[in-house]
Amino acid sequence: MIGTDLVRAAAGSLVDGQKSLAAEMKRLVAASGHPVAATLDYAVDATFLEPSLFAYFMDRPDGVELDEALAGRSPCFPSDVNVGAVGPRVVSTSTVDTAFQVLARVTPLLHECLTAVIRRVIVFASEEGDSFASPSAHGAVFLRPPPDADEVFFIEDLAHQGGHVMLTAITVDRDAYFAMDSERSLADLAGEPDDGRTVYVAFHGLFTESLICIALHACLEAGAFGGRQRHEAIGRLSFAMRRMQLDLPALQQDGVMTARGAAMVRSMGDVFDAIFARVGRQITACDLSNQPYTFSYERFVEQNAVVPAIVRG
């Protein structure tokens, strides 16, 4: 399956990264002086990977006690949004459930990685802004779907935002991946004055784009979608592939990544090459000239009435 090498390598590093993050939360909890600290089982990492605990120590929300953060209560997760979860404590929406089920069927290793790090799925409505994930709520993904979103959107966005959570854990030790300052401006490195990202942010972008492409291509090749959903999925795949094409060259330069980081970038390039070899004609047939920063299916339909079929195999 396309992307197996990348996802397998990520999975191995993910375990160590999560252990490191849990260890830091244990240290902070133990040093807090709060009575609840003495009641916890420090052998259970999962207790210390609660997103609201990260928010408690990184953002210091007003009116929240440590015991409440450990129980999952935080202003980061207000009660007036649709909250889902992989675990049993909170009931997730049926559409998010369906997206996870499709991922489990078509790309089980990626599904395993995502469910290993995603502790909360928060679906929110807003006039502005995009979906996001933040280290200050590590383990949570905040998804802002368009009004007509179904599992196609959520499959892409779970891979996208869940990918950010994965890479935050993987790159706990940034020096293992970057041969230069990871906060160096990409504008200086790539000669793109309008690109305000850092090298680290670009690496996040390339990694999440790779996971999006793996997920969407696996869905299409497995015949998971038909009709309008297939049309949207190929549009979203084409959009992510174009982003990968733009992001790869800067990170492929000598001296940017360590041997370990460069191996990951090569694996991402392999994902791009393998998918393009399979469905390059369909991808290049898509007209993305009217797309905003975040993919819009409504705009895609304006320019793309018909997309050639994905051929399985």
- Residue 313's pLDDT is 44
Of 186 and 253, which is predicted with more confidence? 253
- Which residue type, as a one-letter code, is found at position 128? E
User: Considering the chain, what is the average pLDDT of its residues?
Assistant: 89
Domain ranges of the chain: 175-313
Give 132's contacts (C-beta < 8 A, 6+ positions apart): 141, 142, 161, 164
- Check: pTM over 0.85? Answer yes or no: yes
Q: Measure the CA angle with vertex 102, ends 156 and 304; round to 5°.
A: 45
Complete DSSP assignment for 263-290: HHHHHHHHHHHHHHHHHHHHHHH---TT
- Region 190-209 average pLDDT: 89
Q: How much is the pLDDT for 277?
A: 97
Task: Name the H helices within 90-171.
Answer: 94-106, 108-117, 151-170
Which residues are paired to 121 by β-bridges?
Answer: 84, 141
Label residue 190 by pLDDT band (50, 70, 90): low
- What tens digit of pLDDT does each residue of 124-153 get? 877 778 999 999 999 999 998 888 889 999
Question: Half-sphere exposure (CA, 13 Å, Cβ side) for 150?
Answer: 9
pLDDT of residue 90 exceeding 50, the answer is: no
CA distances from 182 to 84, 87, 140, 176, 312 (A): 33, 34, 24, 11, 39
Yes or no: say if 223 and 312 are a contact pair by the CB < 8 Å rule: yes
- Residue 236: closest CA among 244, 106, 194: 244
Give percent of the chain above pLDDT 90. Answer: 75
